[in-house]
């Protein structure tokens, strides 16, 4: 018997009590996520199905509890590994375990205890605020990565990859992850947060807004923002910040002279929201966008080039696309969708959202509802989690829908 199969067999045959059985499932999940060979992942997947009774909800619960994590007492970032490739054909989260320390510094708070979930501050350096004594801080120097130093989407993916690596190494409260930056890095921080509106509890920025961020300002309804203003705001920046203030009660603007205690207080009471029943998603670049349980691909017409913070290149759509999806309050398996310049969209569902015994009905742009059966599946759950590495946003089924053109 091959070593992996022997290990799986022994693990599954152990007569363990409930807590140990949960740890057994966590061990299998950890092996699955770390295994680069597809055939071996299939073997581990079958063991996960057996250990969980082939129940996606059980696997999702294990991930939310963090049973797959094995946090060391004194975590450190690795150095000297192969640099992740964030070229135009690989814009996704990638493993950075062997090289995370080449691009970022991991700072643990005094008295770090791995039994507690800590807030996480992702700082785009240089950044003036000191590390918090009550949070884990990762200070990212994007200048050290050849693509992240000049390409906005590469910088975005490096930030999200380092977030995933930190979650694997350190006990982080996933509901309290904050992105922070100032000046040119503030514009980039706006870009990253607005393109990923479901990944952060809040954004702390100083000195600048993203000049084209008004196209995505609606995404500000999904996370808190704290803006430190050093000088008189121009009209465009003021309109942008005023719009944010109407979308989220956690939006706050402070003068540069404000006491740091007000920032610490805001950080202490801000947390990421649960998935809403209505999602408004804008797409201003030629890439699939996602927020919570909605994923969409825009219809490309004409592209534009822009610079963020004067140094990060970005390609956007001259005319943004948009999609709104709402769960019906009276009919659990009905979703109403309106689109503009969208080619296709996906509903990313978990068992708490819809009844798998009934078809999901989706009404698109006022047409007759399309019905599809829901297949909650552990393989898709793990595929989605491996792609996003977000333990709070898990889905066990992805249903695709196309949109007719004009």
CA distances from 331 to 20, 275, 354, 366 (A): 40, 18, 10, 17
Is there a single domain that holds both residue 362 and residue 262?
no
The tokens 């906005």 sit on which residue?
Answer: 152
What is the rounded CA–CA span in Å between residue 223 and residue 251?
A: 8
Is there a single domain that holds both residue 137 and residue 261?
yes
User: Cα-atom radius of gyration of the chain, to the nearest Å?
Assistant: 22
- Structure tokens belonging to residue 28: 């299998």
Residue-by-residue DSSP string for 96-135: -TTTGGGTEEEEPPTT--TTS-EEEEEEESS--SPPPTTS
Is there a single domain that holds both residue 224 and residue 324?
no
Last residue of a domain, one of 229, 252, 269: 269
What is the rounded CA–CA span in Å between residue 214 and residue 235?
A: 12
Could you read off the pLDDT of 105-147 as tens digits, one per residue?
A: 999 999 999 999 999 999 999 998 889 999 999 999 999 999 9
Collapsed DSSP state (helix, strand, coil) of residue 205: strand
Give me the number of domains the chain comprises: 3
In a domain, 92, yes or no: no
What is the rounded CA–CA span in Å between residue 271 and residue 248?
A: 12
Paired strand residues for 181: 205
Is there a single domain that holds both residue 263 and residue 292?
no
Is there a single domain that holds both residue 283 and residue 337?
yes
Under 8 Å between Cβ of 159 and 122: yes
End-to-end Cα separation, the chain, in angstroms: 58
pLDDT value for 5:
60
Backbone torsions φ then ψ of 368, nearest 5 degrees: -65, 140
Count of other CB atoms within 10 angstroms of residue 200? 23
Count of other CB atoms within 10 angstroms of residue 340? 17
Is there a single domain that holds both residue 260 and residue 283?
no
406 residues of the chain, pLDDT tens digit each: 565 565 555 455 444 444 445 589 999 999 999 998 999 999 999 999 999 999 999 999 999 999 999 999 999 999 999 999 998 777 789 989 899 999 999 999 999 999 999 999 999 999 988 899 999 999 999 999 999 999 999 999 999 999 999 999 999 999 999 999 998 899 999 999 999 999 999 999 987 788 778 899 999 999 999 999 876 667 778 888 888 889 999 999 998 888 888 999 999 999 999 999 999 999 999 999 999 999 999 998 789 999 999 999 999 999 999 999 999 999 989 999 999 999 999 999 988 889 888 999 999 999 999 999 999 999 999 999 998 899 999 999 999 999 986 6
In a domain, 79, yes or no: no
In a domain, 15, yes or no: yes
What is the rounded CA–CA span in Å between residue 32 and residue 218?
A: 37
Is there a single domain that holds both residue 110 and residue 241?
yes
Last residue of a domain, one of 269, 296, 323: 269
pLDDT value for 57:
93
In a domain, 116, yes or no: yes
In a domain, 75, yes or no: no
Number of H helices, E strands in the chain: 9, 18
For the domain that residue 192 is a member of, what is the CATH number?
3.40.50.1820
In a domain, 81, yes or no: no
Is there a single domain that holds both residue 319 and residue 285?
yes
Query: Quick one: 111 exposed, middle or buried, by C-beta within 10 A (0-12, 13-18, 19+)?
Result: exposed
pLDDT value for 8:
56
Nearest in space to 207 (alpha carbons), one of 182, 224, 189: 182
Could you read off the pLDDT of 41-96 as tens digits, one per residue?
A: 999 999 999 999 999 999 999 999 999 999 999 999 999 999 999 987 777 899 89
Could you read off the pLDDT of 19-49 as tens digits, one per residue?
A: 445 589 999 999 999 998 999 999 999 999 9
What is the rounded CA–CA span in Å between residue 68 and residue 107?
A: 23
Residues of the domain holding 367: 278-402
Collapsed DSSP state (helix, strand, coil) of residue 192: helix
Nearest in space to 280 (alpha carbons), one of 330, 334, 345, 232: 345
- Indicate yes or no: pTM above 0.75: yes
CA distances from 9 to 3, 35, 48, 119, 378 (A): 10, 17, 12, 38, 20
pLDDT value for 16:
45
pLDDT value for 32:
96
- Structure tokens belonging to residue 164: 């995933």
Last residue of a domain, one of 249, 269, 289: 269
């Amino acid at each position: 018997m091959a070593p992996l199969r022997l290990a799986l067999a022994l693990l599954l045959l152990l007569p363990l009590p409930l807590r140990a059985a949960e740890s057994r499932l966590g061990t299998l999940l950890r092996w699955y996520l770390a295994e680069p060979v597809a055939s071996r992942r299939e073997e581990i997947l079958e063991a996960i199905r057996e250990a969980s009774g082939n129940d996606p909800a059980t696997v999702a619960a294990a991930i939310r509890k963090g049973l797959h994590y094995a946090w060391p007492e004194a975590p450190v970032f690795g150095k000297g590994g192969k640099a992740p490739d964030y070229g135009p054909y690989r814009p996704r989260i990638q493993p950075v375990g062997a090289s995370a320390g080449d691009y970022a510094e991991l700072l643990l708070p005094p008295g770090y205890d791995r039994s507690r979930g800590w807030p996480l501050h992702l700082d785009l350096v240089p950044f003036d605020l000191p590390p918090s004594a009550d949070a884990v801080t990762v200070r990212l120097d994007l200048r050290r990565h050849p693509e992240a130093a000049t390409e906005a989407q590469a910088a975005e993916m490096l930030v999200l990859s380092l977030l995933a690596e930190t979650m694997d190494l350190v006990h982080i409260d996933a509901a309290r992850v904050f992105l922070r930056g100032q000046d040119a890095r503030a514009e980039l921080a706006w870009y990253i947060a607005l393109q990923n509106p479901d990944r952060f509890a809040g954004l702390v920025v100083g000195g600048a807004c993203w000049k084209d961020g008004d196209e995505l300002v609606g995404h500000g309804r999904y996370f808190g923002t704290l803006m430190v203003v050093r000088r008189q705001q121009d009209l465009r920046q003021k309109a942008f910040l005023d719009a944010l203030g109407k979308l989220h009660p956690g939006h706050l603007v402070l003068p540069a002279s404000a006491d740091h205690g007000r920032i610490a207080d805001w950080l202490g009471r801000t947390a990421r929201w649960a998935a809403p029943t209505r999602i408004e998603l804008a797409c201003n670049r030629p890439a699939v966008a996602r927020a919570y349980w909605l994923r969409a691909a825009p219809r490309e017409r004409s592209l534009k080039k822009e610079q963020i913070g004067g140094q990060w290149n970005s390609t956007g759509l001259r005319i943004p696309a948009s999609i709104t999806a709402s769960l019906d309050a009276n009919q659990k398996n009905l979703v109403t969708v309106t689109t503009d310049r969208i080619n296709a969209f996906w509903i990313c569902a978990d068992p708490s959202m819809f009844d798998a015994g009934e078809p999901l009905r989706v009404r698109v742009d006022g047409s007759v509802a399309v019905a599809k059966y829901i297949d909650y599946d552990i393989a898709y759950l793990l595929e989605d989690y491996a792609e996003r590495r977000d333990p709070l946003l898990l889905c066990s089924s992805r249903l695709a829908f196309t949109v007719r053109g004009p």
